[in-house]
Structure 1
Amino acid sequence: MATPIQASTRYYRRGVTKVLWVPTIANLQAPTRAELDAGTELADEVSAMSGWQTTSGTVPTPALGSRFTPTVPGEITAADSSLTFWASKTADDVRILLVREAVGNVVWMDEGDVPDQTMDIFPVSVMSQAKVRELDGASQIMAQFAITREPAENVTIPAAAGG
C-alpha cells in the first residue's frame, strides 16, 4: 500500500496571511530580514486580491512513429494581478505608496511571517491605481500590477534580526 500524503493543517487566510510591498530585494531566492523589514505590510488595508499565481504551458513533441503527441513543460506565465485597498476620504492611503510605474516586489507570506515557513515574491511594476466606484460600497482603490520577472516561489522566510 502506498504511503498517504502528509495531512494538512488547514487554516483560514484572513488574519494569517501577510502581504508586503518591498521596494528592493537583491536576491529573490534569499531575501534578507532587513530587506523584508524595510517593506510595508499591506494586509490590513487589502479588501480583495486577484491573480498572484503562475501557470505553465506545454509544448507538443510529436513523432512520426506515433499517433499520440506527448508534451513537455513550456512557458511559465503569471496571471494578471491586482490588490484592492480601502480608500481614505483624505486620500492618505495606498495611492501615496503604490504610484503608477513604481517598481518593487509583492511578497506573499500565506501562512504568516513565520521564520522557516515559505513565501512567494513577485517582482512587479504598478500599472494603475483604479478608483472602484460603486453606489453602495465603501470607496476602494485597485492597484494593478505587471509581473516583470519570474516570481520566486516557496522561498524560506528568514529569521528576525538577532533571532
Structure 2
Amino acid sequence: MARFNRKELTRIKFLPTVTSTSLLPTRAEITAGTDYTDQITGIDGWSIENQPIETPDMGSTFVSKIGGDDQAADSSLTFYEDSTLDDIETDLAKGTTGYIAIFSKGDIASAKGLDVFPVTVVSNTKAYSTDNEAAKITVQFTITDRPALNQTVPAMT
C-alpha cells in the first residue's frame, strides 16, 4: 500500500457545468472551472451517509437494522479571505449552482479518485474573530443529487 498525504496532491475545483449524466466532467469543463485548492483552510462533509432502518421483532431482544436511504452530509469549504479581492464572495454567492470536483489523488490523467458533487451554495459567511488568525469565509453547500464517486480523471487535451 502506497500511503500519501492529501496536502499538495488533492485538488478542489468548482465547475460551473458538467453535461454528462454520469457526472464525469470533460477536460474542457475542468479547465473552465476554478481551482480553489490554495485558498481552502477547512473542509467538512463531502460524503454520503446512510440512514439505517431499525427492524425489531418479537423473537429477539436484539434490534437489527437494514440499509435505508442515503443522504449527503452537510458540506462546506472554509477559505482564507482576500483583503483586496472578493472572488469567494461573488463567485460562490448564495444561490450559485455548479459542481464541486475533488481530485483526491490529484488532477492527473487516468488517476482514480475523482468525486463530483452537484451543489447549490446556501450560505457564504465571513468568520469574525478576535483570535490571532487569518480572516476566513465559510461557504456552505447543499448536495442536490447523488454524487459520482471514485471516477477516473479524464485525459489532458
Give 1:108's aligned residue. 102
Residue correspondence of structure 1 range 1-163 to structure 2 within 5 A: 8-27=1-20, 28-61=22-55, 69-116=63-110, 117-135=112-130, 136-161=132-157
User: Quick check: 1:87–1:93 contact (8 Å CA) kept in 2?
Assistant: no
Query: Using the alignment, how far apart are the partners of 1:134 and 1:35 within structure 2?
Result: 37
Query: Using the alignment, how far apart are the partners of 1:59 and 1:106 within structure 2?
Result: 30
- Output the aligned Cα RMSD: 1.7
User: Quick check: 1:85–1:141 contact (8 Å CA) kept in 2?
Assistant: yes
Q: Which runs of 5+ in 2 are unaligned?
A: none
Q: CA deviation at 1:62?
A: 5.1
114-123 or 10-19, which deviates more: 114-123
Q: CA deviation at 1:53?
A: 1.1
Identical counterparts, % of pairs: 36
Q: CA deviation at 1:69?
A: 4.9
Aligned length: 154
Q: Which runs of 5+ in 1 are unaligned?
A: 1-7
Amino acid at match of 2:105: E
Q: CA deviation at 1:68?
A: 5.2
With the length of structure 1 as denominator, give the TM-score of the two structures.
0.86
